[in-house]
Amino acid sequence: MTNGPLLLMYVTLQRLVELVIAQRNTRKLLARGAYEAGAAHYPVMIALHASWLLSLWALGWNRTLVPGFVALFVILQIGRFWVLRTLGERWTTRIIMTPWAAPVTAGPFRFVRHPNYLIVAFELPCISLALGLVWHALVFGVLNLLMIAWRIRSENAAYARLT
């Protein structure tokens, strides 16, 4: 047996748990008067990430992991958990505007305006590369960068409307 399935199971479970947390947080924020901005990108983002993960299972389930990229992935996970902990109940997978609260500037946000996007920009190709899927990393890495750029433009425009 190869060890590729272990990484894929972890990432799949992580993403499913995060979707549950994000949906819960979104419902709570909307109930308190927050609103969603830039919703047009969301179905595209879900389709991109779902196709990335499904294609990883199709292409990488029988692969042996590349240790250097696994180590990088672990480091990125530390950053990911730092972002989630810093945002707490404000963390969602959607752009949810909270007019009563200023943007978060603590934790990793002290150093980077969009740390979660930075982490995901590295994380997607890193996981592909950990499975030895160079072309997969390139294709989904570029598509994800385009998605992140769209999302950041949407988020920045929403914040500009608040001020």
Give the chain's end-to-end CA distance (angstroms, integer): 55
Residue 54 pLDDT: 98
Residue 17 pLDDT: 97
Going from the C-alpha of 75 to that of each of 71, 109, 116, 123, 158, the distances in angstroms are: 6, 17, 13, 10, 31
Owning domain of residue 147: 4-162
Question: pLDDT truncated to tens, each residue of the chain (163 aa)?
Answer: 478 999 999 999 999 999 999 999 999 999 999 999 999 999 999 999 999 999 999 999 899 999 999 999 999 999 999 999 999 999 999 999 999 888 899 999 999 999 999 999 999 999 999 999 999 999 999 999 999 999 999 999 998 887 7
Residue 120 pLDDT: 96
Residue 161 pLDDT: 87
Number of independent structural domains in the chain: 1
Going from the C-alpha of 62 to that of each of 5, 131, 135, 140, the distances in angstroms are: 7, 9, 17, 20
Residue 11: which CATH number?
A: 1.20.120.1630
Separation CA 109–CA 152 (nearest Å): 14
Residue 61 pLDDT: 87
Residue 110 pLDDT: 96
Global pTM reads 0.92
